[in-house]
């Protein structure tokens, strides 16, 4: 049985895609079979970040309609053994609830299924969040982004899954000047466990060098691999 890590947020642009991709790469490096499902909507940023946008032509909607096999719509990520990419973002208006069967099938084909979800309440009703074993809420340490997660948690909160917070783009200098919240205060406001705090790091900027996998050295990457290890240990 695979574990599903669902990466979501209340507001846009907080780092869901960056985190989902980085966690998927970290889990693959830990010798797990990993599928990363880009369900983030038409921005479908994962394929762009990986430089795979011209390769990915089949979508989970094609699989759900019976037109193609699931295997045909799984794309190995170059230079990352064990990681395959699937897209549920190529078509506008796919009702993600139609994909529940496909998600189950994807889960049976890997150890870890990472979901890069759309922002906010779009995830409601589509069933994807409900299938996660780990619900990872990403937020920046600012009031607007934290309040947006609070609203999402209020509507999607589940007692049968592990819910945790990742604070992204944290800057100590901003915290000292009162521009950003303290990550522990974020967790307290949201009354949810703090899984990790990822610092602001230019090396994490997606799409700067397409095809470049996240990884390497530095505080941001070491925090992401620590988060991945923690999640893997819970599996
Ligand atoms: N810790 C970080 N330090 C620096 N840049 C970051 C960090 N995290 C994310 N970014 C950058 O911020 C931008 C937004 O990140 P990302 O696309 O992952 O957010 P998102 O939540 O998936 O956005 P969307 O809501 O559009 O799907 C990207 O350019 C990404 O590279
Ligand atoms: Mg995204």
What CATH number corresponds to the domain at position 182? 3.40.50.300
The whole-number pLDDT of residue 45 equals 80
Please, what's the largest Cα pairwise distance for the chain?
56
Q: Could you give the CA distance from residue 33 to residue 81 in angstroms, rounded to a whole number?
A: 8
Which ligand 1 atom is at minimum distance from the Cα of 20?
Answer: 18
Q: What is the mean pLDDT of residues 163-188?
A: 96
Percentage of residues in the chain with pLDDT exceeding 90?
Answer: 63
β-bridge partners, 5: 114, 134
Q: Pick from 7, 15, 141, 209 the residue to mutate for probing ligand 1's pocket: most ligand atoms within 8 Å of its CB.
A: 15
The whole-number pLDDT of residue 127 equals 62
The whole-number pLDDT of residue 18 equals 92
Strand 75-76 vs strand 83-87: parallel, antiparallel, or unpaired?
Answer: antiparallel
The whole-number pLDDT of residue 194 equals 97
Count CA atoms closer than 13 A to 207's CA, side-chain side.
9
Q: Could you give the CA distance from residue 193 to residue 142 in angstroms, rounded to a whole number?
A: 17
pTM here?
0.94
Number of domains in the chain: 1
The whole-number pLDDT of residue 157 equals 67
Host domain of residue 7? 3-234
Q: Confirm or reject: Cβ of 169 under 6 Å from ligand 1.
A: yes
Q: How confident is the model at residue 233 (pLDDT cuts 50, 70, 90)?
A: very high
Rounded to the nearest angstrom, the distance between the alpha carbon of 33 and the centre of ligand 2 is: 22
CA 213 to chain centre: 15
Q: How confident is the model at residue 72 (pLDDT cuts 50, 70, 90)?
A: very high
């Amino acid at each position: 049985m695979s574990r599903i890590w669902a990466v979501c947020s209340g507001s846009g642009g907080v780092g869901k895609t960056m985190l989902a991709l980085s966690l998927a790469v970290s889990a693959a490096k830990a010798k797990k079979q990993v599928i990363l499902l880009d369900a983030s909507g038409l921005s479908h940023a994962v394929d762009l970040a990986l430089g795979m946008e011209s390769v990915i032509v089949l979508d989970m909607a094609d699989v759900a309609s019976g037109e193609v096999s699931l295997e045909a719509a799984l794309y190995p990520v170059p230079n990352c053994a064990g990681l395959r990419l699937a897209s549920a973002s190529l078509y506008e208006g796919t009702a993600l609830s139609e994909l529940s069967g496909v998600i189950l099938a994807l889960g049976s084909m890997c150890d870890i299924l990472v979901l890069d979800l759309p922002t906010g309440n779009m995830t409601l009703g589509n069933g994807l969040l409900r299938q996660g074993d780990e619900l990872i809420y990403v937020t920046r340490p600012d009031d607007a982004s934290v309040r947006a997660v609070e609203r999402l948690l209020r509507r999607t909160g589940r007692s049968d899954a592990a819910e945790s917070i990742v604070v992204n783009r944290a800057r100590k200098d901003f915290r000292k000047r009162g521009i950003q919240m303290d990550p522990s205060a974020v967790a307290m406001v949201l009354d949810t466990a703090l899984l990790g705090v990822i610092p602001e790091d230019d090396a994490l900027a997606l799409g700067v060098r397409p095809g470049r996998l996240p990884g390497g050295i530095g505080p941001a990457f070491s925090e992401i691999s620590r988060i991945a290890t923690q999640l893997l240990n819970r599996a």
